[in-house]
Chains A and B, each alone.
Chain A
């Protein structure tokens, strides 16, 4: 009985300590605010979801066309708007590059821009910015 009560007390103390840990670890933090999406982050995430949706839809369409589920005619009608939407979201997600200032020295090599991270792994889908009037892919 006594042992059981001692163990019970230890369990209670351990629980209280675990719950109090964030306060014990950092008694007076510089900031104690939970991060929240701001408008820019919300819009970026929305665009990223839209981009993934458009790219996934393109991938699906390509595959369905290849398997014969989508006719050439349907493919031609559907692929254009999807490619435009994918390209639009990709463009919207690109970081805005400020207008370059007037070059002070004309004979200087320009610095190459930072590579934009691939939204999709390279083996996943056809790259963006395709022609707006596509050629239908080969059918089996």
Chain B
């Protein structure tokens, strides 16, 4: 079946290249049938990519080791679910999956953009076609997943750390996020190419941006949880360049989601928004580069890829082309209104944007500097955790505070009296909490204390917004409190969904501060029968056992956990040994407390299976489970924001009635 896969990819490349070239010519010369033809070629590109992907998935599931990719990333003993996830577990397969998501998104975007004018859509097709053709070229010519060989008796297997349920969902989520940023980028550039000064591109891509941003956010949290339970070093985020690769476009997209509201409401920041869209898209491709180029030695990255120079060249070309286009259209992007006051909602959005972009660029510098140093001076430089932690505090804590200030400030201008009234309650509550925390001993970490105090301020201001809004809604329309609350959220989903997302970020901040600033770590070698004390817990080592799964030898230690006189049960950290992969993995044991949201996290190392000693590292992490709870709240807030609003649809339909003529097949 490999020839079918290769042929399908060639067809996909041909279709996408045609969509790029013919679409570009059609948009330039205003040829309607050619533009439709290019759009259809984009759809055909998706169909052909789907066939190629189906061929590879079938080969993975059938253990067809004549496919080099299958032999290099699976083994006979690998469970079926991980054979499926091997699609994105290796360089070539992940690029094919990227192309599948890209062409799928592109097809839906051009079909669903009902409101977009013909001239705008005519430019969107060649832009998406160009991006698609580039990735199709990579899988056709540089890193094909359809190379064949004489079938070996067994494959090399999948990296053990990737044999985890989170690997079934975390990478696809990230890809949906990374690739989703192509759509707003394509519409933004198409707006400039079509010389349109209106905001239709923002309306059409609003949900796409939110969707991509939400997928990136959820993908990162899932990745953090995977690192926490599987990688086994006791943390969830290590500022690894590949982790940062997903964080950077998310920060840029977060800034864009805020600043685009200023453009919608005030007609300002048009150039800034264009630059943010370009930045988010380029950072998404940069993330792809970091993962696949082989320049970064990380557990997340694919070893020594050949695609690195191509991706780097593409990023440079996209950045240069986009900036040149924005520069050429500057007169069209000039704002007609100005910021009325530095104390207004739009001003807080502006401050938030500056902090988000500063944080994003600081992380980018932390990632890029070692690469540049090695490339230019031949010196290996490592930028370690303290650099990132420092800038997270410098930019992150004011950002947290702004999340509380923003909702309390009115648009356009706010008087000091109104501000005083709005701030009094949340500020008093935050100060009281800070004092109480100092009294309870939380003053040992100043950043932690500040984060907690700011978090209380933000949560109080969000709660106040909901209460005041519900009361106002009730006074307007009457009805019960729950009805008024439902009506309030339904009438302004972006605002109140956004507040729920802010609440998720606060929970995340509390969880991060608690689990890092206030964690307790203890390491000790124990023999069976011995025990150790950590932060009020007693851990007694009982012995070791050995088992066998389909593809691994499993060594487990058994520990009895108790707190005071109360037994909390047995936990079993250990190690797995994978003969096919010639590798081992830490299998940590975590005991969650659903009451205090605290975890006892145990790593077992240097295990002597014959009854000797074992080296244990125990971490007690307060409030760490708030981080995962934040994920649920984040999804809820994103869903509220994304949920279609019939009133808004009617309003936009009225606005774009004149643009109703659609491009049809």
Contacts and interface: CB of A to CB of B under 8 A. Distances in A.
Q: Do A and B come from one complex?
A: yes
Interface of A: 1, 4-5, 7-9, 11-12, 14-15, 18-23, 26, 29, 31-37, 41-42, 44-46, 48-50, 52-53, 56-57, 60-61, 63-64, 66-71, 73-74, 78, 117-121, 123-124, 138, 140
A49 B198 CA distance: 8
Given A49-B655, A68-B421, A60 B411 contact: yes
B655 A45 contact: yes
B438 to A, nearest CB: 31
B558 to A, nearest CB: 53
Chain A interface mostly helix, strand, loop or mixed?
A: helix
A37 B117 contact: yes
25 contacts: A4-B3, A7-B4, A19-B40, A21-B37, A21-B40, A31-B32, A32-B31, A34-B26, A34-B122, A35-B117, A36-B119, A41-B659, A48-B654, A53-B266, A60-B265, A63-B469, A66-B475, A67-B471, A69-B414, A69-B418, A71-B415, A120-B651, A121-B647, A121-B651, A124-B651
Residue from A8, A46, A48 whose CB has the most chain B CB atoms within 10 Å: A8
Residue from A33, A37, A42 whose CB has the most chain B CB atoms within 10 Å: A37
A12 to B, nearest CB: 5
A69 B410 contact: yes
Interface of B: 1-4, 7-8, 11, 14-15, 18, 26-27, 30-38, 40-41, 43-45, 47-48, 51, 117-119, 122, 194, 196-200, 264-267, 408-415, 417-418, 421-422, 465, 468-469, 471-472, 475-476, 647, 650-651, 654-656, 658-659, 661, 665
Given A4-B1, A11-B48, A121-B651, A66 B43 contact: no
Contacts, number: 183
Contacts of A11: 7-8, 11, 47-48, 51
Contact of A53 (B30, B119, B264, B469): B264
A23 B33 CA distance: 6
Ranked nearest first, the 10 interchain pairs of A and B with the lowest CB-CB distance are A8-B7, A15-B44, A4-B4, A22-B36, A67-B468, A66-B472, A22-B33, A34-B30, A19-B41, A71-B418
Nearest to B35: A34
A61 B414 CA distance: 11
A74 B51 contact: no
B410 A119 contact: no
A1 B18 CA distance: 28
Contacts of B3: 1, 4-5, 8
Contacts of A140: 468, 471-472, 475
